[in-house]
């Protein structure tokens, strides 16, 4: 059953603490039920803060990292040691500080010159490692950030990636950055058991008003990428008071 939740926290650090606790609970339950937990990480500033927290006690010791498999929702087409790399960010803030087997880290091979090949190889990694439910890999948890333009993962407004309905991952040329990226597509995002979307800071207030405010945009206009998510199961917004400033408090 699909369920969407909205949780508003006083500030980004309260938000990250709540998200870290949620992640710990979801991982514990999944590992009890099925022996492993498959999570897709996001890039961006709020996820970075969350990863730094997860690298500290009690999360560092209490989370069963041995049974957690880490993937990425999207990646910039750069080498894994490049400062723009989402893998590098997650590695520097979290993965290099915890006791997780190397074999449990599944990064996107976004450094390949052939971007379609990179997306294809990543799709094979997903198919090979993640349980297939309803005909598609089912992540236990996908973390997403949201851009001020309403993008999630690297599904940017106006890009053909938004219409990809067959492939699990796709290459996306992002005009405003003049860069290629690799992103999960809607079919696999929608199939997740849980989706958490983070938004913190005033820079996200306008887009959240469009998406979660009293009169969400849409109607006759084109939906933002975040509004095109159709989760099969649970989706929860974790937002802070600054990002929520134009939204009537419902949580």
Residue numbers of the site for ligand 6PG (CB under 6 A)?
42-46, 73-74, 86, 145-147, 151-153
State the minimum distance, in angstroms, from the CB of residue 145 to ligand 6PG: 2
Task: Return the number of the residue (68 or 142) whose C-beta is nearest ligand 6PG.
Answer: 142
Instruction: Of 204, 194, 202, 198, give the one whose Cα is nearest residue 231.
Output: 194
Residue nearest to ligand 6PG (CB): 145
Rounded to 5°, the CA angle 152-155-157 comes to 100
Task: Return the number of the residue (146 or 196) whose C-beta is nearest ligand 6PG.
Answer: 146
State the minimum distance, in angstroms, from the CB of residue 37 to ligand 6PG: 20
Task: Return the number of the residue (67 or 179) whose C-beta is nearest ligand 6PG.
Answer: 179
| Cα gap 123→111, rounded to integer Å | 15
Task: Return the number of the residue (86 or 193) whose C-beta is nearest ligand 6PG.
Answer: 86
State the minimum distance, in angstroms, from the CB of residue 9 to ligand 6PG: 15
Task: Return the number of the residue (59 or 156) whose C-beta is nearest ligand 6PG.
Answer: 156
> Maximum distance among all alpha carbons in the chain?
50
CB 109 within 8 A of CB 122: yes
Task: Return the number of the residue (130 or 143) whose C-beta is nearest ligand 6PG.
Answer: 143
Sign of CA dihedral 174, 179, 184, 189: negative
**Helices 86-93 & 45-54, crossing angle to 10 degrees?**
30
State the minimum distance, in angstroms, from the CB of residue 42 to ligand 6PG: 4
State the minimum distance, in angstroms, from the CB of residue 14 to ligand 6PG: 16
State the minimum distance, in angstroms, from the CB of residue 165 to ligand 6PG: 20
- Encode burial over 134-162: b for 16+ CB neighbours within 10 A, e otherwise: eebbbbbbbbbbbbeebbbbbbbeebebb
Half-sphere exposure of 195 (CA within 13 A, CB side): 28
| Cα gap 139→133, rounded to integer Å | 10
Task: Return the number of the residue (28 or 173) whose C-beta is nearest ligand 6PG.
Answer: 173
State the minimum distance, in angstroms, from the CB of residue 191 to ligand 6PG: 19
Peptide bond connecting 167 to the previous residue in cis, omega within 30 degrees of 0: no
Gyration radius from the chain CA atoms? 17
């Amino acid at each position: 059953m699909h369920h969407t939740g909205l949780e508003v926290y006083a500030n980004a650090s309260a938000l990250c603490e709540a998200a870290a606790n949620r992640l710990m609970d979801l991982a514990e339950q999944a590992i009890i039920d099925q022996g492993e937990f498959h999570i897709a990480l996001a890039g961006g500033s709020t996820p970075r803060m969350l990863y730094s927290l997860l690298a500290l006690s009690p999360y560092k010791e209490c989370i069963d990292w041995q049974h957690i498999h880490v993937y990425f929702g999207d990646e910039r087409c750069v080498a894994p040691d490049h400062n723009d790399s989402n893998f590098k960010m997650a590695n520097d803030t979290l993965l290099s500080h915890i006791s997780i087997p190397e074999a449990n880290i599944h990064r996107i091979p976004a450094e390949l010159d052939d971007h379609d090949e990179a997306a294809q190889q990543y799709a094979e990694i997903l198919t090979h490692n993640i349980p297939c439910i309803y005909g598609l890999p089912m992540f236990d948890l996908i973390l997403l950030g949201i851009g001020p333009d309403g993008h999630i993962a690297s599904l940017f407004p106006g890009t053909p990636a938004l219409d990809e309905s067959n492939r699990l991952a796709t290459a996306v040329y992002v005009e405003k950055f003049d860069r290629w990226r690799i992103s999960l597509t809607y079919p696999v995002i929608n199939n997740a058991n849980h989706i958490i979307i983070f938004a913190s800071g005033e820079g996200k207030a306008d887009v959240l008003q469009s998406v979660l405010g009293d009169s969400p945009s849409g109607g006759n206009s084109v939906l933002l990428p975040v509004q095109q998510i159709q989760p099969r199961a649970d989706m929860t917004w974790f937002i802070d008071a600054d990002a929520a400033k134009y939204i009537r408090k419902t949580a």
